[in-house]
A = this chain, B = another copy of it.
Amino acid sequence: MEGLVKCSANYVPLSPISFLERAAFVYGDKVSIVYGDTRYSWRETHWRCLRLASALSQMGLHRGDVVAALAPNIPALYELYFGVPMAGAVLSGLNTRLDAPMLAFLLQQSEAKIVCVDHQYVQLVLKALEVISAAKAKSPFLVVIRDSDQGAFSTTQEIPPGCLDYDGLLEMGKPDFEIIRPLDECEPITVNYTSGSTGTPKGAVYSHRAVYLNSIAQIFRFEMSTMPVFLWTVDMFRCSGWCFTWAVAALGGTNICIRNATSKAIFDAIFTHKVTHLCGKPTILNMIAEAPLTDHRPLPSKVDLVIAGALPPLEILNKVHELGFSVSHAYGMTEALSLVNVRSLMDEQIGMPHCEGICNVLMEGVDVKDPTTMRSVPADGKTIGEVMLRGNTLMSGYLKNIQATQAAFRRGWYGTGDLGVRDPDGYVRLKDREVDTIFNGEGDAISTLEIEAVLASHPAVQAAAVVGRTEEDRSGETPCAFVKLKEGCSASGQEIIEFCRGKLPNYMLPGSVVLGDLPMNSTGNIHKFVLKDKAKALGSLFHSNGHLTNGVCEKG
């Protein structure tokens, strides 16, 4: 067609930087961030991010350079999610539960030029920098974030020699800085390391376009309206704070930052600031449900709580509902910018936690495919395939790992590694992680998630994880359950197996139950590979009578 143009008037690369600029204009006087006694307006946040971007540029940062950050959910970290991209750079938010060698590895892998560190983690990062120096590699420049909320700076807040402090950095910057926008909306904005439950963490890179569209998708998924009050209980470093860093700015909302998400801090914040939304790991539900009565405060209005991960027991869920929270459950992964789908747990059959429904607006496709033929499995609710995704809200790939990137994107789809079925109504139902599925050698693929859901519904069970256990005289595996009981509760392994009978087909009944603590990784997920080793080691214990039927090992 003739007469048309694509120019900077009618084509602007999609970037969440626009959300901040608009918030400063439309919601300039409204509160952007609250953290203890600290309180900023959107105009101030915009101004601070401009100074931050300006100072970073002055330090010699170039387009595409990486800035790392290690901090809890404090205002400075929120500002970094805007200020670093506004300098044309890429932010790598690091998990505060990592150790020095892993931090050293990730800083080197991303070639971070600068690392901004909360005072609480300075010693840890100094150790990591020693590891890097010992390897004769170039260390990133250290910027320390001192915490105004802690009153006078304590000795833990001293700035090591040769380092800058964050506020000093901001003072260097000029608020009339000209933002270095992406030339192409597919340029990277953040690196998000996976938790590494199946090996070394991989750096999932998000683009400006992807996070812009996913911020909008989050607003739809959470049915948020203008000026929400968002309580930061999800880690900002986790999938870029599930993109709420940017989505809250798009809506001119208020960010309530807390250093430690204790039950008291959560209830206080909700009551004081009229919080409308919070989200995070399922342990938040436990925290709320098990909060001492003295921590409780009435909810000022509807509070939406979205959790991602395995569902905690029904009892916990019911308790949180009774307290007035509106709980939803999300399915997602780092590679899909956190969430694929969110479903309410209010009206649904919460005993079936793995019927995940379908994708929300902006995701182009969710399917279950045979990974060899790439054809959709029949919609019979039985045939298992791999859950696959397509859309603009997926990562650009794994940083410096083209093999892993190419393995993830197969013939136009992203393979999640999760197993699922297609129900006759077209809905996708998750069955298990591919690597965790138990194949019993008789043609059955057993979903450990389904067994875990039944175990979790036992009144004495706090948490449960099931892995496959190989037996020497059998070709397949049997389910081996690791169960942590609630404090003050008791149940034998045999009782737990009996509890499952009738709720599960016989071939899915746990062959063994091991009571005890469960090994967790830094994100609160259970380390199944540790349990698999444990299960292997159990082998010989049960071979007294030649083969094993529901053998039980207590406190193994």
Contact = CB atoms under 8 A, between A and B. Distances in A.
Given A9-B412, A9-B414, A226-B223, A398 B3 contact: yes
Contact of A358 (B26, B186, B410): B26
Interface stretch (A143-151, A285-293, A399-407): A399-407
A6 interface: yes
Nearest to A399: B3
B226 A225 contact: no
Interface string A301-318: 000000000000000000
A1 B399 contact: yes
B392 A3 contact: no
B399 A10 contact: no
Interface string A49-74: 00000000000000010000000000
A3 B390 contact: no
Contacts of A4: 188, 205, 396-397, 399, 405
Interface in A401-424: 401-402, 404-406, 409-410, 412-414
Most buried by B among A9, A25, A401, A402: A9
A409 B226 contact: no
A22 interface: yes
A238 to B, nearest CB: 20
Interface in A1-40: 1-12, 14, 18-19, 22, 25-26, 28
A412 B401 CA distance: 38
A229 interface: no
B413 A6 contact: no
A7 B412 contact: yes
Contact of A11 (B1, B6, B392): B392
A552 interface: no
Nearest to A226: B223
Most buried by B among A3, A10, A19, A226: A10
Given A1-B188, A2-B400, A3-B401, A394 B10 contact: yes
Contacts of A186: 6, 11
Given A9-B409, A12-B391, A12-B392, A3 B361 contact: no
A358 B392 contact: no
Contacts of A12: 364, 390-392
A398 B2 CA distance: 8
Nearest to A398: B3
A404 B5 CA distance: 11
Interface in A149-204: 186, 188
Given A25-B358, A223-B226, A225-B223, A409 B7 contact: yes
A266 interface: no
A226 to B, nearest CB: 7
A176 to B, nearest CB: 14
A412 B8 contact: yes
Contacts of A413: 9
A86 interface: no
A519 interface: no
A509 interface: no
Interface in A355-369: 358-359, 361, 364
Contacts of A14: 392
Nearest to A393: B10
A92 B398 CA distance: 43
Given A12-B390, A391-B12, A397 B25 contact: no
A14 B217 CA distance: 14
A426 interface: yes
A87 interface: no
B3 A409 contact: no
B1 A64 contact: yes
A250 interface: yes
A409 B28 contact: no
30 contacts: A1-B90, A1-B188, A1-B399, A3-B402, A3-B404, A4-B188, A4-B396, A4-B397, A4-B399, A4-B405, A5-B397, A5-B405, A6-B186, A7-B409, A7-B412, A8-B412, A9-B389, A9-B390, A9-B409, A9-B412, A9-B413, A10-B210, A11-B186, A12-B390, A12-B392, A25-B358, A26-B358, A28-B426, A216-B216, A223-B225
Given A8-B390, A11-B392, A223-B226, 14 more contacts: A1-B64, A2-B402, A3-B397, A3-B402, A4-B397, A4-B405, A5-B396, A8-B412, A9-B390, A10-B396, A10-B409, A22-B359, A22-B361, A223-B225
